[in-house]
Amino acid sequence: MTPTLREGESGREGQSDGEDRSTPTPAIARLKKRPDFLAAAKGLNCARGAVVAQARHRGDGCPLIRIGFTATRRIGGAVVRNRAKRRLREAARIVAPLHARAGCDYVFIARGGTVSRPWAPLLDDMKSALVRLAADLSASLGELPPQRLQTRPD
């Protein structure tokens, strides 16, 4: 039996996998209340492969990233929906600290192929959705893309 991880634990303490740990990872919390899911649904969305991602900037000044997961009955029974959400949670645990924006809420919705999709393409789907949403959020907030912030030598 594998040990259960609490929220905020990665289960990789003391392991060296070649990743650079010098930059602090943003704090990530779970969305659990229906109004939070409904608010995220009114924000931006992006469908990629087996994942639909919704995002909204909270605007409360808190740097916390909040993530929620859902699967409709359309993709299958309870066993299939739970398996899809478990896969999305694990993919988000890996990808979100690298590509999610601080101060935003994200909802990941499982699609029909979430359970059967190979692991690497599922990670790519989630990564590309987060990158696209980050660009869209920057544009909607009136921020310039990072490459335009660099000053040219005069």
For 123, the domain range is 28-136
Give the pLDDT mean for 71-79.
Answer: 95
pLDDT band at 110 (very low <50, low <70, confident <90, very high): very high
pTM: 0.77
Is 45 a member of any domain?
Answer: yes
Q: Residue 150: pLDDT band by 50, 70, 90 thresholds?
A: very low
Helix and strand numbers, DSSP H then E, in the chain: 3, 5
On the question of pLDDT at 122 being above 60, the answer is yes
What's 87's domain CATH number? 3.30.230.10
Q: Are 75 and 109 in contact (CB under 8 A)?
A: no
From residue 108, give the alpha-carbon distance in Å to each of 18, 64, 91, 93, 143. 28, 17, 10, 12, 24
Given a cut of 50, whether residue 13 has pLDDT beyond it is no
Categorize the per-residue pLDDT at 20 as very low, low, confident or very high, splitting at 50, 70 and 90: low
How many structural domains compose the chain?
Answer: 1
